[in-house]
Structure 1
Amino acid sequence: MPGLFRFPLYLDFVLPTMDMEPWGWNGCACTPATDTETMEELMTRPKQSLRSITAQNLYALQLLTDVRLSPDGRHVVYGVQRVDKKTQKKYANLWIAPTDGSGERQFTQGDQTDASPRWSPDGRSLAFLSSRKEGESAQVYVINADGGEARRLTDLKGDISSLTWSPDGRNLLLEFTQKDQEVIDREADEQKKKLGVVSRHYTRLFYRGDGQGWLGHERTHLWAINVARGRAKQLTSGSVCDEYNASWSPDGRSIVFCSNRREDPDLEPDLIDLYVMPAAGGAMKLIKAPRGPKGTPVFSPDGSRICYVGARDPNEWWQNVELWVVPTDGKGDARSVTRPYDISLTCSTLNDVGGGIEMPPVWSADGNVLYFQISEHGSTKLMGIAVDEGTLYTVIDTPGSVGTFTVDDRQRMMAYFLGTMTDPGQIWVRDMDTGDARQLTHLNRVLLSQIDLGKVEEVWFKARDGHDLQGWIMTPPGFDPKKKYPSILEIHGGPQDQYGNLFMHEFYFLAAGGYVVYFSNPRGGTGYGEEHEKAIWGGWGTVDFDDLMDWTDLVEKKSYIDRRRMGVTGGSYGGYMTNWIIGHTHRFAAAATQRSVSNLISMWGTSDLNWVFQLPHGGKSPQESIDVLWDRSPVKYLGNATTPTMVLHNEMDFRCAIEQGQQVFTALKVNRVPSEFVVFPEEPHGLSRVGRTDRRIDRLNSIRRWMDTYLKPVSTKPAKGAETCKASK
């Protein structure tokens, strides 16, 4: 798993083709709305004749995939993905919009996936990845920026994960993982292809990847593609190490990249180093820097320095991700320029309909300032810091999530993704001199203008020990504070993530069913400093449980909450906490645990990241600390559970293997607790965000049906296979 230097249960699904679907798709090219009315203005419209959001609206949402500003600052290229409802296949095309707001146009056509658009340095061409044949890996294409036919540059057998233009525009740098020769041979032989894999043999520790399946034996290496001739040249090689997060020096003569070159990187995954090598390939030079995780290195404009992101120490996931600068010539020490500030360079605000992408830091043209994202207090902000003076300032702090951001050559204009609580995401442009910003796209304007999402209230409160915590209460459409409502506590995954100011379709869907939905950021997550994140290191189910119960206490006291009809749900680490909760309290009348962790002993070795999950729980294997892992395992306490619980898990979840959910379901059934097991075939850990759309819809409907069964005043028919005993209060 190249490039990972933190291993939360839920890794950001930063894919070139997220689950992004246009409203009203019926097989014709979608046309984004261009009205200038903002989403916030739409949300304040009179509520008469508006309808509630539905699960089926997942087919209707338009969502951005990427945002890239042209070198002259006059155009933005971006992607919009659609779903063919009949086949459930997803297609994506590129669009171009002038930054003067004069209207966008669809740039590529057809039933394929076009992704990762990149402007050439002169702005005359665009390179992008596209899978234009059924079953074929995405290849590199180049097209004139004025339009025309795209020219295919590559015929590579494998996965291209990144592409970057050289400063002179003559070459493209790729991060590429070849298919194993055995796979290539099998696919070339129709009989062998029909029979499929006979067996798999592994000697490495990380042999599966969630969302990737069973890994091949080839590693990720750097390749250069000559744009004029399409000639491919492999720059790095090796059977043990990967190279990734590569970028060019300003003069195009060198490439900097990350690599873990230990004897067995899977045993020391955080020991990542920076290397510089000639652009044509050759000897690698190690850049001296502290031991520990590193990522996204970028040369300064004059090439004298390299910035990168990383933590202070290996295997300490709770530490802030800091911004570092190191001399390129090795004649000085690396230093963290953000160390004096308790901030972390992450893009960890969660949602379920595509979101922000974590970007490399960006140097100012004079090399004096670095721009970067941080996640803080429920938002992902864009910050700047004076590299030598250390002065930190905020560039964009709109409540929401700043994703992809790019600047023009003169750094007079910035284009960026911004998603908010009421808007899945739009492109904004900003004048870097004046700070003036305006919205460039208006995706989903028509759809959301027809929907009453309800209202959301932000709440700051004190935990029992005085720690400051943040949460949000979402009330349903047509809310009447004089009435009593059932409620659902949502718990985020990670745990190194945060909920906050970003559109969550699931929350609005549950609220549309007549529920008050409330969510918060208990200790253990990002966005509130190192001590907040460190609080559960070695102790899941301790102060995080207390924080969630304190939050529930606060909401329960609201006059409109029916304390007898409270539900709880969460996925991944949120599923762990849901399992923990039903084993430690009977206050909830219904629960839905999703893609959860239940047994830390069996989690060790069955997850795609197998042994590293010992790190947050004392750092020792089950052979050394089985009692510690068992004490922190929710399944140990499920004998106490009485809460009717739906267990949802994905068949191809390699992060939290399905056996984790099976143990929960079995324990509940044996103890005669009303329960139902829902299994989604073929789906990875991230079903709720990137899964097949009909399965995402079934997941949402299943959860709400379960909650309706046990939380509505007049129960609906119990779920198939669920006992009808009365829920505990």
Structure 2
Amino acid sequence: MDSPYTSLTDYIAVPRAEALTLSPDGRSAVLTVATLTADGTAFERSLWQIAADGSGFPRRLTRSVKGESGAAFTASGDIVFVSSRIDPAATDAPEVAQLWRLPAGGGEARPVTRLAGGVSGIAATALAAETIVVAADLLPSSATLEDDAASRRLRRDKKVTAVFHDSYPVRYWDHDLGPAEPHLFALDMAAVAESVAGSAPDRGDVGGADGTVTDSYPSDLPRPTDLTPRPGRSADTAGQALTPDGRTLLVALRVPERRSGRFVLVSIDVATGERTTLMDEDRVHIESPVISRDGATIAFLRVPFHTQTASADQEIWVADIDGMNARRVAATWDRWPTSLRFDARGESLIATADDDGRGPVYRIPLDGSDPVRLTSDDFSYTDVSVDPATDDLVALRSSWTAPPHPVRIHADGSVTPLASPAPVPEPIGTITGIETTATDGTRVRGWLLLPEGADAAAPAPLLLWIHGGPLNSWNAWSWRWNPQLALAKGYAVLLPDPALSTGYGIDFIARGWNAWGAAPYTDLLAITDEAERRDDIDESRTAAMGGSFGGYMANWVAGHTDRFRAIVSHASLWALDQFAGTTDNSEFWQTAFTPEGLEANSPHHAVRDIVTPMLVVHGDRDYRVPVGESLRLWSELAEHHAAADGTTPHRFLLFPDENHWVLKPQHAVLWYETVFAFLDEHVHGRDWRRPESLG
């Protein structure tokens, strides 16, 4: 069978649809598509235009060495995006990402900003005005854009990289925080003037007795207005939205509190910067604000803090644009929204949510009636936009058999695939739902993917894959953990949603809260038992794998059962007392467990009981689960299980320049090569074959 899943080289070269945004008139959409570079070492991103009704062919809009991302539309239909492509007028500027505009009527893209530190992303756009808000960083001492340029030039010239901190945290996921701090800037796109001469660089002004030159912001570009001056890290946001007229920004701003903080909903006047707090509750996050098309109503998530004995819930609230008349909707809906939008008339919210191993779209009426599920297939939906003319939806959807691809969702729930430059490859094998009953009587379900030819005469070896999170679900495509590659190798893959998984209600999460080694573990064993009862599964050849929380569970499995032939532990939590103080968000983890729960659920206590060969994998730039977890795991495996000559059945794959994930294309290939070689050695009894690129 000619399939990209049979070759890792072909697999990483498959084009990937990563994001979708709908035009203001609903007639077209822009896709962000990632493709492999010619040398196979990186992905480059470009923008493509497709018809939103399913007609025609994709049309490429951008082409540059640096690529483009974060596309959005202005009210007039221009496309704005973020790119570090070369600005011909900024000959001596550092290569940082800026905002660019591609006119709706055609022509070349041109830069809209020339910020010394670049643009982080597009934060919000207005429906009926040429106002947009971008996120960008300024150094702490900078009162103006010119100050920031001068300070950055000084640090660059002196080759200073040191960062001074006076608050927590200092790292986040895969990057060091600081020295710059996040700001939100407003831009008037109507002020972007075209001229025959084009954009000319401003040479700066001579200032001071020493004749030094200060950097002046270009006079021919619209000057960004700082809406969050000197914010510290308070411009870290949990979502923001512009009113249709572009005059008011609603933003969930972070208020620091000791080592953590909470998000409050504020209204910022774009012209004056005046700020009004609309929603602020102690020990409650207000997140993900959205605004109706008429600008009269807002919706947001209200998320009380979790405690050591109970997970937080997520509530949907609506209010008037000034925050008055706030009320909860869908109060009995036991699901957590992953996105919110208003429909075209402002009578309902369009939401996505994890549900029973899928990620469907819902319509949530504002009159208090029950949510209605709009999609009934086995897919998960993201990037949902509303067609203002028809109230149809345009979105990306994916499943474990199909990567993200653009579709149109009609009012009756039917779905039409749209043209895409990233075609969906034909899947390998089959997928079926599988479920069992846990020891406490709870239904536990997952997906079982079977390779071609698996039957009673030729049962397939089984790989138990444990998802991360832990508040997560195996319900959407992943380029990083892709069972199609395992199916091509002849393995069956079990993707279970144990206790703590989302999409099954708050009580299902509560079963594993403060007790990760209890119900989550027994759920995994119970559904593995169910899979192994099938005559097309070889119960004598099984292995377990997981990353992040899944890596934690892989470690827990290793210390509490010998039923698996091999275990792969990626980016795993090992010693919870150590982890809780070194992760980038220590306050969260120390409030998610009682002291007794933290101690009782730490996998490292069972290191002496491990008999299964383990492959330990970690990235040195992982700040969510610091590499010290795997370093300690590796040390203790050697301490208790290495032979007298130092040899061990365990293996350690370290990526010095990767983070919580393995993102570089050739590193992803190496990850799979190493994992499959390790599994083949212990599941099939084959000789160990060291991947060539390991040297």
Normalising by the residue count of structure 1, what TM-score does the alignment of the two structures yield? Answer: 0.82
1:574 to 550, 558, 566: 550
Q: Secondary structure at the match of 1:77?
A: strand
Q: 1:409 to 1:266 in 2, by over 3 A?
A: farther
Per-residue CA distance 1:156-185 (angstroms, 9 max, x = gap): 114423243334433221222225669966
Q: Secondary structure at the match of 1:605?
A: helix
- Please report how far the alpha carbon of residue 243 of structure 1 lies from its aligned counterpart in structure 2 after TM superposition: 5.3
- Please report how far the alpha carbon of residue 210 of structure 1 lies from its aligned counterpart in structure 2 after TM superposition: 1.5
What is the distance in 2 between the residues matched to 1:523 and 1:170? 47
Contact 2:131–2:186 at 8 Å: present in 1 too?
A: yes
Letter in 1 for 2:418: L
Unaligned runs of 5+ in 1: 1-46, 347-358, 619-624, 721-729
The aligned residue for residue 248 of structure 1 is 242
The aligned residue for residue 671 of structure 1 is 640
1:129 is aligned to 2:71: no
Q: Secondary structure at the match of 1:558?
A: coil
- Please report how far the alpha carbon of residue 463 of structure 1 lies from its aligned counterpart in structure 2 after TM superposition: 1.1
Q: 1:444 to 1:283 in 2, by over 3 A?
A: closer
Q: 1:304 to 1:413 in 2, by over 3 A?
A: closer
- Please report how far the alpha carbon of residue 442 of structure 1 lies from its aligned counterpart in structure 2 after TM superposition: 4.6
1:554 is aligned to 2:530: yes
Contact 2:33–2:422 at 8 Å: present in 1 too?
A: no
Letter in 2 for 1:650: G
1:142 to 96, 101, 116: 101
1:398 to 362, 372, 377: 377
The aligned residue for residue 145 of structure 2 is none
- Please report how far the alpha carbon of residue 412 of structure 1 lies from its aligned counterpart in structure 2 after TM superposition: 3.8
2:113 to 140, 154, 165: 154
The aligned residue for residue 198 of structure 2 is none
What is the distance in 1 between the residues matched to 2:688 and 2:102? 57
Contact 1:402–1:417 at 8 Å: present in 2 too?
A: yes
What is the distance in 1 between the residues matched to 2:290 and 2:3? 48
1:490 is aligned to 2:462: no
Pairwise mapping of residues 530-549 of structure 1 onto structure 2 (< 5 A)? 530-549=506-525
Paired residue total = 637
Q: 1:85 to 1:541 in 2, by over 3 A?
A: farther
- Please report how far the alpha carbon of residue 427 of structure 1 lies from its aligned counterpart in structure 2 after TM superposition: 0.8
Q: 1:639 to 1:78 in 2, by over 3 A?
A: same
1:173 to 124, 133, 147: 133
What is the distance in 1 between the residues matched to 2:320 and 2:224? 31
2:584 to 608, 611, 622: 608
Q: Secondary structure at the match of 1:615?
A: helix
The aligned residue for residue 481 of structure 1 is 456
Contact 1:575–1:594 at 8 Å: present in 2 too?
A: yes
The aligned residue for residue 11 of structure 2 is 58
The aligned residue for residue 598 of structure 1 is 574
- Please report how far the alpha carbon of residue 677 of structure 1 lies from its aligned counterpart in structure 2 after TM superposition: 0.9
What is the distance in 1 between the residues matched to 2:16 and 2:525? 35
- Please report how far the alpha carbon of residue 489 of structure 1 lies from its aligned counterpart in structure 2 after TM superposition: 0.8
1:703 is aligned to 2:675: yes
Per-residue CA distance 1:308-338 (angstroms, 9 max, x = gap): 0232445588333221112334443x33212
Q: 1:480 to 1:503 in 2, by over 3 A?
A: farther
1:298 is aligned to 2:267: no
- Please report how far the alpha carbon of residue 111 of structure 1 lies from its aligned counterpart in structure 2 after TM superposition: 1.4
Q: 1:159 to 1:442 in 2, by over 3 A?
A: closer
1:715 is aligned to 2:673: no
What is the distance in 2 between the residues matched to 1:575 and 1:510? 18
The aligned residue for residue 25 of structure 1 is none
Q: Secondary structure at the match of 2:374?
A: strand
Q: 1:461 to 1:705 in 2, by over 3 A?
A: same
- Please report how far the alpha carbon of residue 192 of structure 1 lies from its aligned counterpart in structure 2 after TM superposition: 4.4
What is the distance in 2 between the residues matched to 1:411 and 1:276? 31
Q: Secondary structure at the match of 1:306?
A: strand
Q: Secondary structure at the match of 1:448?
A: coil
Pairwise mapping of residues 2-21 of structure 1 onto structure 2 (< 5 A)? none
Contact 2:333–2:370 at 8 Å: present in 1 too?
A: no
Letter in 1 for 2:234: C
1:91 is aligned to 2:69: no
Q: 1:289 to 1:203 in 2, by over 3 A?
A: closer
Contact 2:567–2:614 at 8 Å: present in 1 too?
A: yes
- Work out which structure has the larger RCO, using CA pairs closer than 8 Å and 6 or more positions apart in sequence: 1
Contact 1:293–1:314 at 8 Å: present in 2 too?
A: no
The aligned residue for residue 723 of structure 1 is none
What is the distance in 1 between the residues matched to 2:467 and 2:253? 31
Pairwise mapping of residues 216-231 of structure 1 onto structure 2 (< 5 A)? 216-227=178-189, 228-229=191-192, 230-231=222-223
What is the distance in 1 between the residues matched to 2:392 and 2:639? 62
Contact 2:350–2:363 at 8 Å: present in 1 too?
A: yes
Contact 2:353–2:359 at 8 Å: present in 1 too?
A: yes
Unaligned runs of 5+ in 2: 87-92, 143-147, 193-221, 642-647
What is the distance in 2 between the residues matched to 1:85 and 1:706? 30
What is the distance in 2 between the residues matched to 1:611 and 1:300? 35
The aligned residue for residue 334 of structure 2 is 342
Pairwise mapping of residues 225-304 of structure 1 onto structure 2 (< 5 A)? 225-227=187-189, 228-229=191-192, 230-237=222-229, 238-242=231-235, 244=237, 245-261=239-255, 264-265=256-257, 267-269=259-261, 271-288=262-279, 290-291=281-282, 292-304=284-296
Q: 1:698 to 1:164 in 2, by over 3 A?
A: same
